Amino acid sequence: PMANEMFSSLPDVITAEQLASALQISKSGAYALLNHSDFPTLRVGGRKMVMKKDLLEWLNSHTNRPK
């Protein structure tokens, strides 16, 4: 899938800064996602991150597709 290619250069664990860059959103937008109840956030110490595989699954499940 295209998303896998788009994010192939990202590490397996993605920081808020990397998430913002990858999705071309602001850093505050990335933190808003990381704080959203249905987003697969990984907490390591005080940092909020996301596993790349979980991000790809989340993006796939939240993509609008024609019926």
Report the pLDDT value the prediction gives residue 62, as an integer from 0 to 100: 87
Distance between terminal CA atoms of the chain?
19
Report the predicted TM-score, pTM, of the whole model to 2 decimal places.
0.85
Higher-confidence residue of 1 and 19: namely: 19
Residue 4 clears pLDDT 70, i.e. is over it: no
pLDDT in tens, 7-45: 889 999 999 999 999 999 999 999 999 999 999 999 999
Helix or strand run (H / E) with residue 55: helix 52-61
